[in-house]
Amino acid sequence: MTAGGDPSAHERLVAALKASRAGTWRWDIPADRVDWDEALSQVYGLPHAEAPRTSGAFLKLIHPDDRERCGKLLGSLLESGSEIDYEFRALIGGRIVWIYDRSTLVRDAAGRPAYMTGACLDVTARKQIEEEHNAALEKYRLLLRELNHRVKNHLQMITGMLALKAARQADPEVRHEFEKAIQRIHTLAELHARLYRDDRFDAIDMEAYLTGICDGLRGAVLPHSWVALDCVSAPLRLSIDQAVPIGLIVNELATNAAKYAFPDGRAGKVVVRLEVDPHPDGEHATLYVADNGVGLATAGKGTPGVGLTMAQGLAEQIGATLDATCDGGTTYTLRFKADRRV
């Protein structure tokens, strides 16, 4: 405290530092003299008489693995900075103490470093919690990798068995139903693989997910060059509870279009498009699956088949509406309130 200073302000500062369990230090740079208060010695777990008195003595307290990094940070501060905060490990008698330090540099009238002050906290307990959390997370990821491997193998086995069954069917309609079942499994497999690749288990990137589904459909049910499949999606992450039904709906509707909209080698296009619409009560989204084929009535689809019935049920599952219009083809419109995830 300087002469003429406010004693009460000093007392409040001391009280605040004690309450926060912080310790303070001052480094006279030209003289290379370091002064610690007793609170800082307690933070480090050192007898106050053993507190470092020079910058070199202080650096020796830093863990060897952190020493070079801390030296570079302080060097950068001396060269051109004014404030810095960082964390490091101190090695005190074989015991590691994690320290959080916030330092301020004061320069003289000529701009040269005059002295540095700082406050430190012992954050060892927080770091231990973080390390335990990270270890648990890594164990969780290892288990998920194993689960992913097993699920992938099981899905491949199921699709392989269905493919063998399909190849043995003489009836084209029965064979087609097997192929649709295989494609449904592929849709779920795409979702599973994307969850694993993205390392996010609460949200799905719909743009990438729908693109993956459409890529699979091109090879499975739209192999003919005269039928094109386009996919356009707004950037949107949805919850898994919404993403799964939407992916299956796209699969069913696009498969129906491939089977019924382009008879006798008719050329055309199927378009899958997902749009986001701002709404007063939250964000809404609209999914379109449209084709420029012969239309529902011409295709003989006046009565909903299994695929469309499934799509209607999936739409109800997520509180969505599913409507169909025929005007130069068929357009299915799915409207729902988006459970957006960031």
* Average pLDDT over every residue of 249-259: 87
* Average pLDDT over every residue of 188-202: 69
**How many angstroms separate the CA atoms of 254 and 291, rounded?**
9
- The answer to whether 223 and 319 are in contact (CB under 8 A) is no
The more confident residue out of 80 and 130 is 130
Mean pLDDT estimate for the chain = 84
Interval 273-321: pLDDT, tens: 999 987 666 689 999 999 998 876 554 444 567 778 889 999 999 999 9
Give the phi and the psi of residue 66 in degrees, each rounded to 5.
-105, -10
According to the model, what pLDDT value does residue 195 have?
66
pLDDT at 18 over 80: no
Element (H, E) at 101: strand 95-107
* Average pLDDT over every residue of 323-330: 89
pLDDT at 1 over 50: no
According to the model, what pLDDT value does residue 313 have?
92
According to the model, what pLDDT value does residue 281 have?
67
Note the helical H segments in the chain.
Answer: 7-20, 38-44, 55-61, 64-80, 124-167, 172-198, 206-220, 240-260, 306-317
Bridge-based pairing of strands 268-277 and 227-233 is parallel
According to the model, what pLDDT value does residue 148 have?
72
- The answer to whether 99 and 85 are in contact (CB under 8 A) is no
**How many angstroms separate the CA atoms of 145 and 218, rounded?**
29
According to the model, what pLDDT value does residue 51 have?
95
**How many angstroms separate the CA atoms of 50 and 217, rounded?**
73
Lowest mean pLDDT among 78-82, 197-201, 225-229: 197-201
What is the rounded (10 degree) CA torsion for 171, 177, 183, 189?
A: -120
* Average pLDDT over every residue of 49-64: 95
| Single-letter amino acid, residue 54 | T
According to the model, what pLDDT value does residue 3 have?
36
Structure tokens at 187: 């849709």
pLDDT at 246 over 90: yes
pLDDT at 13 over 60: no
Residue 198: pLDDT band (50, 70, 90) is low
The DSSP output letter for 329 is: S
Residue 106: pLDDT band (50, 70, 90) is very high
- The answer to whether 90 and 96 are in contact (CB under 8 A) is yes
Most confident region among 63-67, 202-206, 237-241, 256-260 by mean pLDDT: 63-67
**How many angstroms separate the CA atoms of 308 and 334, rounded?**
12
